[in-house]
Chain A
Amino acid sequence: MIGYIDKIREVALKLLNEEKVDMVIGYRQGSLPMMTEPCFVKRPEDVETLIWDSNCRINLAAYLMDRKEKIGIIAKGCDSRNIINHLVENKIKREQLVIIGAPCKGMIDNKAIALQFGQDIDEYQETEDQITVKGGGTEKTFQKVDVLQENCAICNHRNPVVYDELAGDLVEEQTDIDRYEDIRKIEAMDIDEKWNFFEDMLSTCIRCYACRNACPLCYCPTCFVDESKPQWVGKSNDPNDTRTFHFLRAFHCAGRCTDCGACERACPMDIPVRLFTKKLGKDCLDLYGWEAGLDPEQRPPLDTFKPDDPNVGMK
């Protein structure tokens, strides 16, 4: 996976030189080791700033909404599914896009590594399946599989679903994974246990809305939390308001969420917000056999009616 960068730069350079696209959206090194930031390359001479490693966690599809220009974009499995979401929801046209697919073996969890390393990290190196970090006079090597982000570890769509170019060979999909173990655990709780579990989980939420802002699905011109006439969600840190926010956000992502993990990554308080979106993902799979972002031609289950749709709790 680490060898992709040459191909990515080559394709990006070609696209820009031939003026097939106005800009290429990719990753560049951030100001700290193990951090990347999105970058928008508009001039051929800038393609050298593009990088690719196991820290390219950000979902680049979040930068596509309502763009007018032609765009080349690097897409991992999850990014490509979110691109399909945008196509389905008419947020961008397929003709505008040149998708550089990057078959992905999972991105690493920098917070987990920092926690296990216990020192400031000054240097970072990776090989195909090992991560080495240095800092404070010591160094430590991790196996990449041990430090994957949780959503990457249970990912079942590693290869991009749509692409025009490929940065490397397609990788093998994980098939023997249990995606919903944690959800089932919560479902098995009784009603008060559930309530207290979420009360506890959300008690640290500071309502910064970073999860919403990072999410490639959240593009409403005015978010329901910002509406004031009527005001659905209070501005205070009342637990009920916090709960409403997380609950409704999850509902807005029902049948659309690709479990890219952007929300959880963005959370400064490390709240596992994916527990909400994943539950609805599981319901969509169980009730409608639907996984988001796999086919641009198919309408999502919540916007179609079929006579044999299940009647959940209807009288």
Chain B
Amino acid sequence: MEYMGIDRDRLHFSWVSSAEASKFITVVKEVTASVKALGPATKFVKDRRQVS
């Protein structure tokens, strides 16, 4: 993705076990924060007005 010119922070991967609710929360917060920091996605977004 990065090679194509998409910010790395827009795509996250993680491992969370089903017993790790607190890790889940931490990761959610992390992911949300990093995407929020990047602002709205402008690349790769299809303009729906054009499609219809």
> A315-B15, A315-B27 known; A247 and B46 CB under 8 Å?
no
Question: Which residue of B is nearest A187, CB measured?
Answer: B3
The DSSP consensus for interface residues of chain B is loop
Interface centre among A191, A192, A238 (most CB of B within 10 A): A191
> A191-B2, A240-B44, A240-B46 known; A234 and B8 CB under 8 Å?
no
Q: Is A105 located at the chain interface by the 8 A CB criterion?
A: no
Q: Are A238 and B50 interface neighbours, CB within 8 A?
A: yes
Measured between C-beta atoms, what is the minimum distance from B41 to chain A in Å? 12
Q: How far is the CA of A243 from the CA of B4 in the complex (A)?
A: 9
Q: Are A314 and B43 interface neighbours, CB within 8 A?
A: no
Q: Are A243 and B44 interface neighbours, CB within 8 A?
A: yes
* 9-residue interface stretch from A34-42, A194-202, A299-307: A194-202
Q: Is B14 located at the chain interface by the 8 A CB criterion?
A: yes
Measured between C-beta atoms, what is the minimum distance from B33 to chain A in Å? 13
Question: Which residue of B is nearest A238, CB measured?
Answer: B46
Q: How far is the CA of A31 from the CA of B44 in the complex (A)?
A: 43
Q: How far is the CA of A273 from the CA of B24 in the complex (A)?
A: 39
Bits for B19-45, please: 1 = Cβ < 8 Å to A, else 0: 000000001001000000000000111
Bits for A238-252, please: 1 = Cβ < 8 Å to B, else 0: 101101000100000
> A234-B46, A314-B14, A315-B30 known; A192 and B5 CB under 8 Å?
yes
Q: Is B12 located at the chain interface by the 8 A CB criterion?
A: yes
Measured between C-beta atoms, what is the minimum distance from B20 to chain A in Å? 12
> A195-B43, A240-B46 known; A315 and B5 CB under 8 Å?
no
Among A194, A279, A313, the residue within 8 A (CB) of B5 is A194
Q: Are B45 and A240 interface neighbours, CB within 8 A?
A: yes
Measured between C-beta atoms, what is the minimum distance from B4 to chain A in Å? 6
Residues on B with beta carbons closer than 8 Å to the beta carbon of A234 = 46, 51
Among A195, A197, A240, A313, the residue within 8 A (CB) of B13 is A313
Question: Which residue of B is nearest A236, CB measured?
Answer: B51
Residues on B with beta carbons closer than 8 Å to the beta carbon of A238 = 46, 50-51
B interface vs A, CB < 8 Å? Answer: 2-8, 12-15, 27, 30, 43-46, 50-51
Query: What are 24 A-B residue pairs whose CB atoms fall within 8 Å in the complex?
Result: A191-B5, A191-B7, A194-B2, A194-B3, A194-B5, A195-B6, A195-B43, A198-B4, A234-B46, A238-B51, A241-B46, A243-B4, A243-B44, A247-B4, A279-B3, A313-B8, A313-B12, A314-B13, A314-B14, A314-B15, A315-B12, A315-B13, A315-B27, A315-B30
What are the 7 closest A-B residue pairs judged by CB atoms, nearest first? A195-B5, A194-B5, A315-B14, A314-B13, A240-B46, A279-B3, A191-B5
